[in-house]
Every structure is written in C-alpha cells, then in structure tokens.
Amino acid sequence: MPERLVVMIAYDGVNLLDIAGPLQAFASATLQAKHNASGYRMMTASEFGGAIRTDPGLMVETLSLDELVLSDIDTLIVPGGAPAKGAFGLEVLIAWLATAAPHVRRICSVCTGAFVLGDAGLLDGKRVTTHWSCSEELGRRHPAIGMEPDRIVINDGQVWTSGGVTAGIDLALGLIDADLGHAIAAATARQLVVFITRPGGQNQFRAPLVLKHDLSPTFTSLHAWIAEHLHEDLRVESLAAKMGKSPRNFARLYAAEVGRTPARVVELMRLEAACQALEETDRSFKMIAADVGLGNEQNLRRVMQRQFGIGPSDYRARFGSQVVLLDRLSS
C-alpha cells in the first residue's frame, strides 16, 4: 500500500502539542513499520499557508488549503486551541472541511478541535468527546451529537475525536492500530514511553468540585462552615439547623439555588479534601477517609470510583506530590 497522507490543520493560536504529539507518533510508527508495511506521509496546512504562530509562540510552516489534493488525503486532523473553541476567524477553514470531508477516509479532532468539526456539521449523530472542561459547552452548541465526556478517544464511523491535549497521542495510536496493526502501535507506544491504551478516562482529571463559580452566595457561609467540619455529622437535618430552617424547606431551597442536593455537595467537598490529602501527603487511606468524614477506606474507594473511575492508589500514583513520593522511597 502507498503511504497514507495525514494532513494536520493549523491556525493562529493552535496548541503546539496537539500538532506535534500525533505527528511524532505517526513518524515513529513509520519507522517501526518500514520493513513490513507502509507508513505515513505528513503535511501541515492552514487556510492561507505560510508560518503559523502556535499558542506557545513557536512558528510552524504550512501549506495552504488550496495546495492540497483532496483525493490524496487519507486522514485529516484538526487540533485544538482557544480559537477553535470559539471558531474565531476560522470560517474559511470550517467551510473547507465541510467540502473536504466526503473525499477523505477519516476526519479527526484533538481536544477543542471538535468545536471546528461541529461547526462544519460533521459531528451530528456521532458519538463525540473533547476536553473534559469543554464537553458541556460543545453539547449545548451542537445538541445533535452524543457527548461522552469521560472518553479519551472515540471512533464513530469516519469521525475520530479525542480529549484534551496529550490525547492527540492516544488518537494517533488508535489510528496506527487500525491501519498497521496492534504490534506496530504497541511498538510505537513503547518508543514514545506512553500507554497504548491509557488507563481510566478523562474524569480522573476533573476537579472533584466546582463551587467557586456556580453556587448561590446564599450558602457561601454554610459551605465555608462545612469545609471546616467535614468529619462531623453533615446530614440535611444538621445543615438545616445551622441555617435555622426545617429540613424539608432547607433541602428544597438548597437544591433550587445550588442545582445539587446538600448530600451530594457534602460528598463532593469530602472528596475534594481527600484528593488534596492524596496529592500532598503520604497519610494512609484509612486516616484520610476518617479525616474528611467518609468513615472508612471502602467508602473513600467507592466515592472515587464513582467520580473518577479510579481508586485512591491510582489517584495518588498519578497526581501525588513527587517530593512526598521521593521522601517515602528514601526513608
């Protein structure tokens, strides 16, 4: 088979890693496959060609869209970046993608590049993912798509989408696996020192609680008090008494203004405190669970699995302080 042409789209303000990560994976796969299969040929293109400034400031040279021969393209990839989320000034690119999509075998996005595909009408009726922090916005903007915000990579027919930033490498490995087989994809992953299939989904990267911006100021003082008394009895009856209301009236007002039940917010605040302890200390899971009011290690594990899809051991391994880890290893 001839080399597969991968065209990476660029625009001013694009995330550099969204471009460089997948292209490096394709280059590595081509080296791995050179003795028994054809690999990839890569181009980077932009609306009008020339030098494109990426978000970190590094310039990338590109061809213009007019220089591309659609019938030659195997895979189109649209990376993410702040302009992609708002499609600022990308009208020419969006129109071109809508025209080009029927002529290429695959069209893909990395991170917020999904917003560009959505604006081009290419995601309707598809299962889609994007960066976890933008999934709700993408779903509101394009209600005909099926958002799966926890997924790192999704393939639905011709369309492949992926989560945030480094998920572009996961996307490339999935494409390589589909094209060249698992052995080449696994060898490429080993060369890049990454997982061929990343454990867990995007939920493990979510902040456990978003209280700073979306909760009513009516309950600001109550939330501050809860944060200082996580180990105490925080059932609805106790919180209602703190606010001088009946449990029924308090629960109704709270849910109406906050959008969550009091019990759910308490659980999330306890989880947030537990995550901070896992990240910053080497305290045992049993001690952390007791400190934050979750009672025991089993409850801590259950809450973390439901929220993140991973347990406290995996969470600490991925997000814990390297200083704490080194201190533990040296002691």
* Residue pLDDT, tens place only, 315-331: 888 778 765 555 555 55
**Per DSSP, which regions of the chain are E strands?**
4-9, 40-46, 48-53, 59-64, 75-78, 106-110, 127-128, 146-147, 153-156, 159-162
Give SS3 for 108: strand
Taking the C-alpha atoms of 130, 54, 179 and 201 in order, what is their torsion angle to the nearest 10 degrees?
A: -30
Domain ranges of the chain: 4-202, 217-330
Closest CA to 65 of 27, 112, 103, 28: 103
Q: Would you state the pLDDT for residue 277? A: 92
Q: What are phi and psi of 99, to 5 degrees?
A: -75, -40
Radius of gyration for the alpha carbons in the chain, expressed in angstroms and rounded: 24
Which residues of the chain are modeled with pLDDT < 70? 1, 37, 200, 203-204, 206-216, 322-331
Q: Topology of domain 217-330, per CATH? A: Arc Repressor Mutant, subunit A (1.10.10)
Instruction: Tell me the pTM.
Output: 0.75
Q: Provide CATH code, domain 4-202.
A: 3.40.50.880
Give me the chain's average pLDDT, please. Answer: 89
Helices (H), 112-166: 113-119, 135-141
Give the span between the Cα atoms of 174 and 162, in whole angstroms: 10
203 vs 172: CA distance, rounded Å: 21
pLDDT on residue 201:
74
Provide the pLDDT for residue 213.
42
